[in-house]
Amino acid sequence: MALTIYQIDVFENKLFEDNPAAVCPLEKWLPDELMQSIASENNLSETASFIPTG
């Protein structure tokens, strides 16, 4: 399975100067255990996922 994950800086307007977070767009929700593994693999506890809504 291939997923796109974006790492962003939050709470700051300057690059590399604040808290990193991951954002993972999904086509459908994944099992909680897999979502936790994704956050752990990227070493970012601040990991958000979303699915598009119509």
Three-state secondary structure string covering the chain: CCCCCEEEEECCCCCCCCEEEEEEECCCCCCHHHHHHHHHHCCCCCEEEECCCC
**Would you say how long the chain is, in residues?**
54
Q: Are 27 and 13 in contact (CB under 8 A)?
A: no
The residue from 17, 27, 41, 46 that is catalytic is 46
3-25 tens-digit pLDDT: 999 988 887 777 777 788 899 99
Instruction: Please report, rounded to a whole number, the percentage of residues in the chain having pLDDT higher than 90.
Output: 37
Average pLDDT over every residue of 26-52: 89
Task: Give this prediction's pTM.
Answer: 0.72
pLDDT confidence bin for 32, thresholds 50/70/90? very high
Q: Does residue 17 have an active-site annotation?
A: no
- Cα separation of 35 and 44, whole Å? 12
